[in-house]
Amino acid sequence: MADPEDEPYNPEDDEPYGQKGALMPFVTYEAENAFYTGEKLSGKTYRTPEGEASGKAAVRLTGYGQYVEFTLTEPANALVFRYAMPDTDGRGQWGTLNIYANGSEILEVITSSRHAAIYGSWPYTNAQVPNRRIRFYDDARLLLGETYPAGTKITIKKEDDVDWYVIDLAEFETAPEPLSQPANSVSITDYGAVGDGIYNCRTALSNAVNTAKSAGKSVWIPPGTFRMDGTGNINVNGVKIYGAGIWHSNLTGGPYFRVSGVNNHFKDFSILGDVTERVDSNRHCGFEPHNTTGDLYENLWIEHTKCGFWAVNIRNAVIRNNRIRNIFADGINLASNSGNNLIENNDLRNTGDDGIAINSENGNHNTNNTVYKNTVRLTYHASLLAVYGGGGNILRSNLLCDTIAFGSAINISSRFNPQGYSGTTAVSGNIAYRTGSSAVNTELNKTNGAIWVVAWDKDFGGGTINITGNRLIDCLNDGITIDGRNAVNNSVNFINNSIEGANGYGVLIHSGNVTGSAKFNYTSVKDASSGVFRNNRGSLFRVSGSENSW
């Protein structure tokens, strides 16, 4: 009997769209599909609000009273909406947007570009450079005060003197009631924390963590907004920290955790940082686990930090059911000797570097990590998923949408001088919409496909890479590209992949210095504007296989 992976690929056999990626409790509504009185923007141009929008389309409001109106398809008491606005000096402009339910005003929301606008070239700063803005969007998140039934019309209206707003999307959900304090725990309020969003609670949290460690207890963050002023990290070693839920227990200011030891647990609270630009010397990540085993990170909301997770030598960790939004570097980066970790059912949006990366940089070997059923969207620099060396790693059933620049949906690379590939790297059953890097703007230099295999700093090394059963839809450039300065000298197999629209080639072997080989079986290419297949390296890069579109 033939191996199922060698059978022709049929997209109708795939999991339905809603079952790819993370299953989250919210419903997403695109502004351009709602009722609106503003102007629809659409396009792929780099450094524009529409180029950074979900689906490459959004709605601009310029006049007093213009609005976007969403009709609920399910009950909701909580709202997140993604918006852009002007920025005056790189340090933020403020305004207000008004929220209506069935025509009655219910909330006035303060808006700001402070955590959005950055300028110049990578790694960008918040020093304004004319016509060189990138990163237009931020989120507003709010509880609506009551649960509105399906059919309710929720309106976001401009009633201030800000020149313009762009509304990209809205997410509505029913936020649950706050959780109760678990047994055998100490509350941070017992150590002086005050949840008013003003009082500095850093010392109270640190003292609660230290007491819990010595007493064998967990730490409780009750409902409230607890400000964490000060520099540096909050150190946690072998402690469990629980909150009342991501809509109820909020840490603001500088709530950045450095984690070590065994069996740390973090659940059910939000980290709402205050980072406004990427400074790599600052350790302002939501979590920096170093040399840990058996950690759990679950039901967390991480926003306005440098990274969501920068993990070094972590093993047997579970990172699941989290939301990582509007950060300035990687969403989740497993770096240097990390193994047997599960990254599952997370929703990431608007990261400033790779969304999720398995990173064996500088010869450090990452093995047997699984990235399963995550949703990664709108990375404004770099790729949605990336693997840099290592072995036994799996990327499966992820939903990937809307890259912006310098990246792809899935990047298999030897950048950052990683440990060479070994064992089997498996990339299967992922679905990507509007990904790759656009060639329209010369600033991007060259095109990257939705799947990008690149021998960057060194040869790939040994092992096998199986890229199987992925769907690449409306690719911004080519569907699959292979390039680099070195050799793809292991076994690279493309099996049953479907390319359904490409603004370039279906498969392109770039000109340059890449050598080696790859095998393609049952590659389906439809509607590729430049052609189905092109090999610019000729006999220097060997392509074999059968039952392909070319």
Please confirm whether the linkage preceding 123 is cis (ω < 30° from 0): yes
Using CA atoms, how far residue 131 sits from 45, 83, 95, 225, in Å, is: 13, 19, 22, 37
Looking at the DSSP bridge assignments, the partners of residue 163 are none
- pTM over the 0.85 mark: yes
Each residue's pLDDT tens digit, 126-164 = 999 998 999 999 999 999 999 999 999 999 999 999 999
Average pLDDT over residues 232-252: 97
Each residue's pLDDT tens digit, 182-223 = 999 999 999 999 999 999 999 999 999 999 999 999 999 999
Instruction: Give the pLDDT of residue 32.
Output: 98
- A 10 A CB-CB count for 70 gives 25
pLDDT surpassing 90 at residue 122: no
pLDDT surpassing 50 at residue 1: no
Q: Which range, 19-23, 30-34, 360-364, is most confident? A: 30-34
Q: How confident is the model at residue 10 (pLDDT cuts 50, 70, 90)?
A: very low
Instruction: Give the pLDDT of residue 512.
Output: 86
Cβ neighbors of 199 (< 8 A, separation 6 or more) are 193, 227
In the numeric block, the tokens 């025509």 are attached to 103
Cβ neighbors of 67 (< 8 A, separation 6 or more) are 36, 37, 38, 61, 100, 155, 156, 157, 158
pLDDT surpassing 80 at residue 13: no
In the numeric block, the tokens 């939004």 are attached to 325
Instruction: Give the pLDDT of residue 88.
Output: 86
How is the chain split among helix, strand and coil, in percent rounded to 5?
A: 10, 50, 45
In the numeric block, the tokens 């930090």 are attached to 305
Residue 31 is given by DSSP the state G
What's the residue count for the chain?
A: 550
DSSP for 297-338, written as a single string: EEEEEEESSS-SEEEEEEES-EEES-EEES-SS-SEEEESS-
DSSP for 260-272, written as a single string: EEE--EEEEEEEE
Q: Is 467 exposed, middle or buried (0-12, 13-18, 19+ CB in 10 A)?
A: buried
* Bridging pattern class, strands 118-119 and 133-134: antiparallel
DSSP for 420-445, written as a single string: PEESEEEEES-EEES-SB-SSSGGG-
Instruction: Give the pLDDT of residue 390.
Output: 96
Q: Is 492 exposed, middle or buried (0-12, 13-18, 19+ CB in 10 A)?
A: buried
Cβ neighbors of 281 (< 8 A, separation 6 or more) are none
Each residue's pLDDT tens digit, 356-400 = 999 999 888 899 999 999 999 999 999 999 999 999 999 999 999
In the numeric block, the tokens 């909580």 are attached to 78
The C-alpha atoms of residue 256 and residue 220 are separated, in whole angstroms, by 17
Instruction: Give the pLDDT of residue 91.
Output: 85
Each residue's pLDDT tens digit, 36-79 = 999 999 999 999 999 999 999 999 999 999 999 999 999 999 99
Average pLDDT over residues 105-113: 98
Express as a percent the part of the chain with pLDDT over 90: 89
Instruction: Give the pLDDT of residue 223.
Output: 98
Domains, the chain, in order of start with CATH, read 26-173 (2.60.120.260), 242-546 (2.160.20)
Average pLDDT over residues 225-241: 94
pLDDT surpassing 90 at residue 530: yes
Average pLDDT over residues 491-496: 96
Both structure tokens of 319: 């990172």
The C-alpha atoms of residue 472 and residue 440 are separated, in whole angstroms, by 19
pLDDT surpassing 90 at residue 284: yes
The C-alpha atoms of residue 550 and residue 548 are separated, in whole angstroms, by 5
Looking at the DSSP bridge assignments, the partners of residue 371 are 343, 395
The C-alpha atoms of residue 392 and residue 338 are separated, in whole angstroms, by 12
Q: Give, for 531, the enclosing helix (H) or strand (E).
A: strand 531-535
The C-alpha atoms of residue 235 and residue 531 are separated, in whole angstroms, by 54
Instruction: Give the pLDDT of residue 442.
Output: 47
Both structure tokens of 182: 């678990």
Looking at the DSSP bridge assignments, the partners of residue 319 are 297, 343
SS3 state of residue 6: helix
DSSP for 108-132, written as a single string: EEEEESTTT-EESSTT-BSS--TT-
What is the pLDDT of the chain when averaged over all its residues? 94
Ranking 5-19, 258-272, 520-534 by mean pLDDT, the lowest is 5-19
